[in-house]
């Protein structure tokens, strides 16, 4: 089985490093990007199947970037999982409405993080594509 290619977009390099270490140990091929511009470059160079998308970033936020990716034919198939400290009631639904295929809250639990990511990928793959 080919390893899943995953891009982590987060403006905090420490978050990328921790998530990357956990996911690489679990068999993912991982790249990181610290802002929307770098993420767009890596999307077309690295060709991820999944993106863990931080929502609150300087410049273009993760929801706007997700919207652009989902409106672009070449990238709309990529599973985008919100990866955020926003954990208030209604936030997950809002992020799904804005195009995210899944939702993971920070901080992460090291022991279960890779399994959570795999679960969100599986659930997203089962859902019909959003019409938007």
Task: Decide: pTM greater than 0.85.
Answer: yes
The pLDDT tens digits for 38-59 are 999 999 999 999 999 999 999 9
For residue 131, pLDDT beyond 50: no
In the prediction, which pLDDT does 98 show? 84
Strand partners, 104: 83
Cβ 82 vs Cβ 104: under 8 Å: yes
d(CA 7, CA 39): 8
Give domain limits for the chain. 5-126
- Looking at the domain that runs over 5-126, which CATH code has it been given? 3.40.50.2300
């Amino acid at each position: 089985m080919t390893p899943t290619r995953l891009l982590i977009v987060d403006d905090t390099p420490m978050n990328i490093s921790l998530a990357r270490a956990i996911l690489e140990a679990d068999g993912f091929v991982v790249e990181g990007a610290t802002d929307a511009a770098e993420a767009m470059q890596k999307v077309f160079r690295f060709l991820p199947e999944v993106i863990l998308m931080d929502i609150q970033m300087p410049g273009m936020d993760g929801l706007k970037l997700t919207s652009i990716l989902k409106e672009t034919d070449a990238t709309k198939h990529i599973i985008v999982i919100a990866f955020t400290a926003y954990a208030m009631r209604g936030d997950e639904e809002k992020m799904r409405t804005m195009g995210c295929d899944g939702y993971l809250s920070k901080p992460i639990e090291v022991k279960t993080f890779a399994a959570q990511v795999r679960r969100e990928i599986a659930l997203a793959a089962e859902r019909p594509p959003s019409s938007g």
